[in-house]
Structure 1
Amino acid sequence: MDADEILFKKRLAELANKAYTDSRYLFTGFLSLAEQNVYYQMERELSYVPVTAFGGTADCERVMLRFGDKALCGYEESFPIACVEIAPLVEKFGEELTHRDYLGALMNLGIERATFGDIVIVGKHAFLFCTEKMSSYIMEALDKVRHTSVRCQIAEEAPESTVTRLERRTFQVNAARADSVIAKLYNLSRSESVELFRAKKVFVNSRLNENNSGQLKPGDKVSVRGFGRFVFVGVSGETRKGKLNVEADLYC
């Protein structure tokens, strides 16, 4: 366990304790999958206080944690999350920008990664989930992404999902093992797939998965750092030679 992880665990414990003793809601910033995994390691230890995770929509990868609920606090409080729409100043001159382009422009503003979460790209527009406190600064300071001049405003309607398109893939494996499915989906060798687990780059349902031989279950959401995300749909049949026909929805 490194020093950063120790400090983060201490911070989570402090938030949980303060929310419980003061009977008020407290929030983390937007957490990476690795940080979410640290929380799940402490979930039983912190079970004395209700915790909810949310990032702007139900399927956001980066989420905030809210410590407290109505029963504990005596009132309701929503997550302090705003959705900022980033659009070309002149639509016809807007580039087809990537997630990396938007992320780079935001990081160049000098803001901390914990202050904003997922970025959803819809055509030439992007929708950014960020803290309410940071939204004003982003709308004022962000005026260019790559070579495109942009304008920012609070979105009139936030996207219901971070998924703009899912692509159904059907393929054959000997078993519905996590390493076999990942190897097939991303055209990797078995050893390359196993190495991803050793490098702690595979997360299943926001939890670090180091068990490459573990079986995936229908509905499992899998994130592979450097490659992308997919939902394991399940086994649809078996060939005469005993191989499994499996399906997965790839985030595009």
Structure 2
Amino acid sequence: MSTDFRVHFHPDEHHFVDKALDWIERAADNHQVRRTDFLDPRQAFILETLANRNPDVQVRLDGGYPEAERKRAIIAPDYLSLDDEDMGIRVLAVTSADAKIAQLEHSDYMGALLALGMKRDKIGDIHAGEAGCHYLVAEEAADYLRLNLSQVHRVAVHTELLPLDKLATTGSELQEMSLSVASMRLDGIVGDVWKLSRAKALVPIQAGRCRVNWKPEENPSAQLKAGDMVSMQGFGRFKVLEVEGTTKSGRLRVKVGKFV
């Protein structure tokens, strides 16, 4: 890949770009078929963008259900039919006799898998509800997780593997917040959402722990807009829902939804 081409991607993304280019070249030149781990929306966008530059390659994305955020991809020569290709996705169902399971959140279920040494790439969307959780997981990790996941945040759990048609999805719950901000700067809005001083908001942003629309963003003065999804490692994520207008004092009224 040329140096000029690299400037279109954040340095943190170069490793994935290189892998994606290798998958595409192998499909085009060696007629190989590759099934990836779960990709976030930014990675899926990068892969499709690169694949669209090569007429001999096609990509299929699937996360186990139509509205999936995280998806696996199959990269293949353009002459193959991918409609019946197995995406290798299973549903890991988690239940418990302990009533405390109703208090568990998305972050608790994520932490339980990561504590087992599981890579995030093997985990798709997570649907947590009052009765338990349905994880979308890579089939190559499914049996390991079924056998080893016995506790989530000190709640004893039972696990079983289900076919995809048994998936029970849960909508993301947003806690709406109305902010009055001087500008749409990233550091200011991040600080207001998570109640951090400007100085404390700078630290994770400049350390590369913040993403805007799944793309790394290290510039504290980056301007947000309605529709932007912001995530920060260790804090969570929120979506800018609406810029509602300007107050008499010249400040902006902004509505955000924090994922809870």
TM-score class normalised by the smaller sequence: 0.7 to 0.9
1:202 matched to 2:210? The reply is yes
Q: Distance in 2 between matches of 1:249 and 1:53?
A: 27
CA distance in 2, matches of 1:93, 1:233: 32
Where does 1:77-92 land on structure 2 (aligned, <5 Å)? Answer: 77=85, 79-88=87-96, 90=97, 92=99
Give the conservation status (yes or no) of the 8 Å contact 1:143–1:151: yes
Q: Aligned pair in 2 of structure 1 residues 189, 149: CA closer, same or farther (>3 Å)?
A: closer
In 2, distance between residues paired with 1:12 and 1:113? 18
The correspondence for 2:162, drawn from 132, 147, 154, is: 154
Instruction: Name 1:139's counterpart in structure 2.
Output: 146
RMSD value, Cα: 3.5
Whether the 8 Å contact between 1:228 and 1:251 is mirrored in structure 2 is: yes
**Structure 1 unaligned runs (5+)?**
none
After alignment, is 241-250 or 73-82 more displaced? Answer: 73-82
Structure 1: distance between partners of 2:60 and 2:220: 29
State the secondary structure of the residue aligned to 1:187.
coil
CA distance in 2, matches of 1:193, 1:246: 18
2:228 aligned residue: 220
| Maintained 8 Å contact 1:30/1:116 | yes
The 2-side partners of 1:134 and 1:45 are apart by: 27
Kept in 1, the 8 Å contact 2:60–2:73? The answer is: yes
Q: 1:149 to 1:22 in 2, by over 3 A?
A: same
Counterpart check, 1:242 vs 2:241 = no
Cα shift at 1:184: 0.9
Structure 2: 5+ residue runs without aligned partners? 1-11
Task: Report the AA paired with residue 122 of structure 1.
Answer: G
Equivalent runs, 1:1-252 vs 2, <5 Å: 10-23=18-31, 25-31=33-39, 36=43, 40=46, 43-44=49-50, 47-48=53-54, 49-51=57-59, 54-56=62-64, 58=67, 60=69, 62-68=70-76, 71-76=78-83, 77=85, 79-88=87-96, 90=97, 92=99, 94=101, 96-99=103-106, 101-107=108-114, 109=116, 111-145=118-152, 146-154=154-162, 157-160=166-169, 163=172, 165-252=173-260
C-alpha distance in 2 between matches for 1:208 and 1:53 = 22
Distance 1:123 1:59 in 2: 20
| Cα deviation 1:192-240 (Å, max 9, x = unaligned) | 2222221111111111112221221221111111111111112101110
State how far apart, in whole Å, the 2-side matches of 1:108 and 1:50 are. 36
Give the distance between the partners of 1:82 and 1:47, measured in 2 at CA.
Answer: 32
Distance in 2 (CA, whole Å) between partners of 1:206 and 1:53 is 17
Pair 250,101 (structure 1): closer, same or farther in 2 beyond 3 Å: closer
Distance in 1 (alpha carbons) for counterparts of 2:200 and 2:18: 35
2:20/2:47 contact within 8 Å kept? no
Q: Structure 1 residues 187 and 142, CA, compared in 2 at 3 Å: closer, same or farther?
A: closer
Task: Please report the TM-score for the alignment, with normalisation by the length of structure 1.
Answer: 0.77
Q: 1:54 to 1:167 in 2, by over 3 A?
A: farther
Matched positions, count: 243
Q: Distance in 2 between matches of 1:97 and 1:180?
A: 30
TM-score, normalized by length of structure 2?
A: 0.75
